[in-house]
Structure 1
C-alpha cells in the first residue's frame, strides 16, 4: 500500500487513540442547553427567538449574520429562558441563547428514517439547490476552524475547483470521533461527497485517511471499488496532516501559496468527513446541524468514550458520563492536545466544532519550565509551513509586527509543532498567535482605508 504525506516539517506525537474501538453512543439530553451565537468563522448569528419562546429539535433559533456566517438550530425542545453572555471555549464571554429542556419533540419536516438516500434518486438536486440546502442547514467545517461550508462551495471567480478532498486524517492525539463516524456511516459520507462534488461542479473526489485507521481505509476502498471518480488515499502518520494545505500537498501533490491563497487556488475544495455527513443529513434528510460526534478521553479518566452529542450540552455532563475528573491537577481541552483550547469552566457547551473533550492529568496538565532558547533550530525543522517560529515568536514578543508580517506570520496554521518540539519549553506558539492577530488586524485596517 503506497502511503502519501506532505513534504515540509511535521512531528509524531504519541497517538493515545484509546477510544478507537469504542462504538459511538447517544449522550443523554442536558437539562439546559447553551447555544453561543459565534460557532463559526465570520459574523455571529442573530437570535430570532426571545425569552419564553417554545422551540423543538431543529427549530431555527438564530439566522446567519452575513454571507460568511451560519444559522443555528435548537438541538432540544423546550423554552428559551434568556439570551445572555456566556464564557465559551475561547475563554471570552459571547452572546448565547439558553434553553430549558422539556421533552424531545422534533420538527416534523426532519426525516428520521435510516433509509439511505442517494443522488441518483433525486434528479431535482441541482448544484444551486445543494448549496442552498447546505447554507440553510448551518453546515460549517467540523474538524477545524468552523468555516461556513456554503462559502467554500462558492469560490471566487479567479479560482476554479477541480476536486473535492475529504479530510479523514484525524492526526491529533486522543481524538477518534471522525474514525468512528467513517466506520459507522461510510455510506452517508460517500453520498455527502457526491453532493459536494455536484455542488462544486467537479468530477473527482478524494478521501485522505492516515494508516493508523486501516479498518476505515479498507471499508471505504471496498465501497468505492467500482467508482472511478473517487479515490481513497492512505497517508503516512504525521502531524499536522489534517491541515488543509498539508492535506492538499499529500493527496494531489500541489502546494498552496501563502495567504490570501486558499486550497481552491490550486483546484481543491477541502471538507472534513463529519462535514460531508452533515451535508448528507441537511440535503437528503432535511436535518439541520444540531448534533455531532465527540470523543471524551484522557489517560487518567475512569472511562473514555465516543458520543453523539446534542450541541449546547455542557462539557461537565460529558465528563461526568466518563466518571468525572481524576483526582489532582487536570487540564480540560476543547479539542486535542496540539490545537485544542484549555477551558476555564466545564460549563462550556459543545458547539459545531467540538470534535473532542480531552482531559490531561498530572504532569501532562502542566507546561515545562521555560528556559532560554538554545538556537537548536528544531522548531524550524518541524514547521509544516516552512517558517522560522523562533523568529516570529521573538518579533511578536517585542511588538515588531511589520517585520513579523514580512516574515509571513499570517501563514502560521497554529498547529503547535514548534512548541511541541522545543526542548526549552518556550511559549513559541502563544507569542505567534498574539502576533498574528495583531498583524491580521493591521492588514484589515489598511484594506479598509483603500
Structure 2
C-alpha cells in the first residue's frame, strides 16, 4: 500500500467538493512587470492591520521619523508593530476610516513624507542559520509581518508553532479573478521566496514543503521550480484552476488529502499554510533587516488606463494608486478592495493600503454589473452544490434572517470561508455572504459580551471572596488581639502580684549587704570565727514596733475620746459642786446685809443658770443670748444703786458669785449630760446660799422681789434661737422696768411676800428644763399655768385692799399687760404652734405669781419655806 507521502511525492492530487469557474480576467494586469509609484503627499498608517491587539504608540505629533522606524511596539499577545514606510514628519494621530466594509474609524498615524526616503540604520545578514530559532521568531515579530493572503494572521505565531508540523504548504494559487499580485511576485522574486520558505523550513522542520500553483500561471510555475531545484524537500505542484482552490482548507485537501476539522486549524492535523507574499516578507526581514512597509498590489479594471501590479507603500491612499495608473471613472463607479468574489466596495477612495490589501478593482458598469433586487429563494440547491465546505447556504440564510444564532452554530456557520461561490450561482441574486458576515459579527459580539460578563462575574466573586476573607481575618485579628490583651493584662497582674509578694518577703538588700559587710569586717578583726551582726535588722524591727505602738496609741486615744465624752460631763458637775462649796465658806463671814442681798439676787442666779437647759442648741445664738442676760443683770445692778446702803453692799458682795454662777453656763453647749449636771449643780448652790442668806435684811427681800421678774424675763428668751426670742426678751425687760418703778413704794408686806415666794420661783424655774418634752406635756403645763393665774388674780384682789395701789404710768401699757392680764398673754402663747417653749416659760411665771399670792399670809415667816 502506497503511503500518503509517496503519493504526494508522485504528484497525486485530490479534489474538494463544490467550487465554481468564474471568468479569470488575469491577463489584464500580468503582462507587465511590477512597478514603483511616486511618493504620495501623505501616508495614513492604521496601527491595527492584522488579527490581534493594537500596538502601543512610540511617536507623537510633530516627531520626525526615518524609513523603517517603528511607530508602535507590541504590547499584548497577537500584537504587531507598524513602521514608517518613508522618512518624514508625523503631522497627526487621529481616528480615520479603516480598510473594512464598514469603514469604521480606527486610530491612524498621518505621515507627511519629506521626499528624501532616508532609511534608519539596518543590519543585513548573510546566513540566517547563525541565529537560533527564538531570535528568528523575534525578528519576524518585530518586522510586523502578517498573513498577506487576506486573513492577516500574525506570522510569528505560525513560525513558533508548538505543534509538530508534517507539511508546510505554500499558497501560490491566487484563485480570485483579476488578482495577479502573487503571480507576478513569483515570476520576479522566486529565489527570495524560496529563501523565505527555507527560513520557515528551518524553524518548523517539516517533512515536506509543498508549493501549490494553479495551472493558469505557467511562468510562475517555471520560476518556482527552477528556484527550488536545489532543495529536494520542496515540491512544486500545479493544481487545476478552480475557485476557491486558493482557500486554506481547500488547498490542504487538494495537496495532502487531509481535511481540517470543523472549527479547527491546519496545525491540528500537522499542516501549516503560508502565502508566497508572506514568505517574501520573511526573507526581507531576516536577510535584509527590512520590516513590512510595502507590498505588491494589483490595480486593474476597465476604468484603469494602465492596469498593473505595483509596489505600494503601506498607508498609501487608494486614490493615489488609481491616479498613478490612469483612473477614468464612469457613472455609478464602484471601487472594490480585493477580487470580485471576496472583495468589498469601498465607501471612499481615501482608504489606505494595508498589509492584507492585494488588489484594487475599478470595473465599469458592464464589467461588474450592479446586483439586482433580492428575490425569493426557489430552492434550486445551486448554492449547496457550489459550497466548498459542504454547508447548506440557503438554510443558514434563513437562520441568519431570523437571528437564530444557536441554529447557525449548529449548522457550522463559522466553517464558511466567505468565498462567495453561493452568491455567485444564486439565480435569485440573494447576497448570502452578506447575511453570513452580519450573523458572524453579531454572534462574536454576543460571545464577547458573554465572556466579559463571565470575567466580570469571576472578578466579582473573587473580590467578594477576598473581602469576606479580609473581614474574617480582621475579626480574627481583633479577637486575637483582645484575647492577647486580656491574657497579657491577667499575666501582668499576676506577675506584679507575685513580684510584690516576693518583694515584701525579701529583706532590704542594702541592710542585708551592710550586715554582711559588718560581719566580714568583724570576722577580720577577730581573726577567725564569723560573728553575725544583726544590729541593722534589729533597728528595722524596732522601727516597725514603734510604728505599731504609735498606731495602737492613736486608736486608743480615739476610743478614749469617745469614752471620756461622758466622763467629762461628770467631771464638770463635780467641779461646779466644788466651786459652790468654796464660795459658801467664803460667804459665811459676810455681813448680814450681804446675806439679804444674796437672797435677793439668788433668783437672778437661778435665771442665769436655768438657760443652761435650752442652751442645748448647737448654734452660737444661744451663747450670745446667755451673754446678753449677764449684761442685762449688770445693768439692773446699776439701777438698784439707789436702794439702801445695805442693799448696795449685799449686791456688790454677791456680784462675783453671780458671775461665777453664770460663767459655768458657757460650756452648756456640751452634750446633754453635761447640761443636766450643770443645772443640778446650780440648784444645789442656790439651796446652799439660801440657808446662808436667810438672815438678810428685809430691804434685800424687796430688791430680790423687784429683780425676780426681770430675771425670769431674761432667762426665758435665752432658750429661743430665733429673732422672736430676742423680741420677747426685750418686751420682758420693759415690763420688768415698769414693775420696778411700781414696786419701789410697796410696803414691807410685799417684800415679805416676795421673800416667801423666792423658793417657789426656784421650784417653778426648775421644771423649765424639761420643756423640751413632747407636746402633750407642754399643753398640760399651760393649762396648769392658766389655773394658777386665775387663783393669783383672786388673791391679788384681796391684797389690793390692804396694800396701796401703785402708780401706773399710762405711757407703759406693757406693764399692765404683764401684771394684770397674765391669762390673756399666756393663752395665746400656749396655743401658738410656733413657739411652745415661750408658752412654757410664761406658764412658769404664772405659777410663781399664784404661789406668791398663796404665801402672802405667811409673810411674817418667809424663812420657813425651804424648797428642799
> TM-score scaled by structure 2?
0.49
Kept in 1, the 8 Å contact 2:37–2:310? The answer is yes
> Aligned partners of 1:300 and 1:100: how far apart in 2?
29
Q: Structure 1 unaligned runs (5+)?
A: 112-116
Query: How far did 1:61 drift?
Result: 0.4
Q: Which moved more, 1:126-135 or 1:374-383?
A: 126-135
Query: How far did 1:437 drift?
Result: 1.9
Kept in 1, the 8 Å contact 2:383–2:392? The answer is yes
From the superposition, tell whether residues 370 and 268 of structure 1 become closer, same or farther in structure 2 (CA, over 3 Å): same
> Aligned partners of 1:38 and 1:230: how far apart in 2?
34
Counterparts in 2 of 1:11-410, with a 5 A limit?
A: 11-17=20-26, 18-90=28-100, 91-103=103-115, 104-109=117-122, 111=124, 121-155=127-161, 157=162, 159-259=163-263, 261-363=264-366, 364-410=368-414
Q: Which moved more, 1:273-282 or 1:245-254?
A: 245-254
> TM-score scaled by structure 1?
0.94
> Aligned partners of 1:124 and 1:228: how far apart in 2?
22
Query: How far did 1:94 drift?
Result: 0.7
Kept in 1, the 8 Å contact 2:70–2:84? The answer is yes
Which aligned runs of 4 or more in structure 1 are off by greater than 4 angstroms? Answer: 444-448
Structure possessing the higher radius of gyration over alpha carbons = 2
> Aligned partners of 2:171 and 2:63: how far apart in 1?
39
> Aligned partners of 1:6 and 1:442: how far apart in 2?
36
> Aligned partners of 1:30 and 1:214: how far apart in 2?
35
> Aligned partners of 1:207 and 1:32: how far apart in 2?
38
Establish whether residue 7 from structure 1 lines up as the match of residue 16 from structure 2: yes
Q: Say which SS state the counterpart of residue 330 (structure 1) adopts.
A: coil
Q: Say which SS state the counterpart of residue 35 (structure 1) adopts.
A: strand
Kept in 2, the 8 Å contact 1:402–1:439? The answer is no
Kept in 2, the 8 Å contact 1:45–1:64? The answer is yes
Q: Say which SS state the counterpart of residue 57 (structure 1) adopts.
A: coil
Kept in 2, the 8 Å contact 1:127–1:201? The answer is no
Kept in 2, the 8 Å contact 1:163–1:197? The answer is no
Kept in 1, the 8 Å contact 2:99–2:354? The answer is no
> Aligned partners of 1:408 and 1:34: how far apart in 2?
38
> Aligned partners of 1:310 and 1:3: how far apart in 2?
40
From the superposition, tell whether residues 140 and 397 of structure 1 become closer, same or farther in structure 2 (CA, over 3 Å): same
Query: How far did 1:349 drift?
Result: 0.7
Q: Say which SS state the counterpart of residue 68 (structure 1) adopts.
A: coil
Query: How far did 1:329 drift?
Result: 2.1
> Aligned partners of 2:370 and 2:96: how far apart in 1?
26
From the superposition, tell whether residues 316 and 3 of structure 1 become closer, same or farther in structure 2 (CA, over 3 Å): farther
Report Cα offsets for 1:67-125 as digits up to 9, x if no partner: 212110010111001111111221111110001110211112165xxxxx77xx34312
RMSD value over aligned CA atoms?
A: 1.7
Alignment match, 1:114: none
Q: Say which SS state the counterpart of residue 339 (structure 1) adopts.
A: coil
Q: Say which SS state the counterpart of residue 166 (structure 1) adopts.
A: strand
Q: Structure 2 unaligned runs (5+)?
A: 1-9, 456-868
> Which is strand-richer, 1 or 2?
1
Q: Say which SS state the counterpart of residue 129 (structure 2) adopts.
A: coil
> Which is helix-richer, 1 or 2?
2
Query: How far did 1:202 drift?
Result: 2.1
